[in-house]
């Protein structure tokens, strides 16, 4: 049985340990940012504002100056 061992268990254990260490590090950084009064979702670790994400809330809803019918094909009426 030992000749078929490929080290998968050892690799899985190392991956699991690495993921848990990365998560602990991320949580610690976010905790420190909150302690300094920074929102980790709005700023990076240096306190610089993050760029706005595309596809945020309200996208796809016509705003002032946009025509709600502009999504329709021309001549569809």
Domain count within the chain: 1
Within-domain flag for 40: yes
Collapsed DSSP state (helix, strand, coil) of residue 70: helix
pLDDT band at 39 (very low <50, low <70, confident <90, very high): confident
Within-domain flag for 77: no
Contact partners, residue 20, CB within 8 Å, separation at least 6: none
Within-domain flag for 24: yes
Which residue is associated with the tokens 């302690």?
Answer: 35
pLDDT one-digit tens code per residue, 41-52: 887 777 777 787
Q: Quote the pLDDT of residue 22.
A: 97
Within-domain flag for 14: yes
Which residue is associated with the tokens 């999504």?
Answer: 71
| Residues 9-32, mean pLDDT to the nearest whole number | 94
Range of the domain at 42: 7-47
């Amino acid at each position: 049985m030992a000749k078929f061992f490929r080290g998968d268990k050892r690799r899985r254990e190392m991956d699991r340990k690495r993921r848990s260490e990365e998560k602990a590090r991320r949580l610690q950084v976010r905790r420190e940012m909150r302690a300094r009064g920074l929102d980790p979702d709005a700023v990076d670790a240096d306190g610089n504002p993050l760029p706005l994400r595309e596809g945020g809330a309200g996208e796809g809803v016509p705003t002032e100056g946009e025509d709600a019918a502009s999504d329709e094909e021309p001549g569809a009426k």
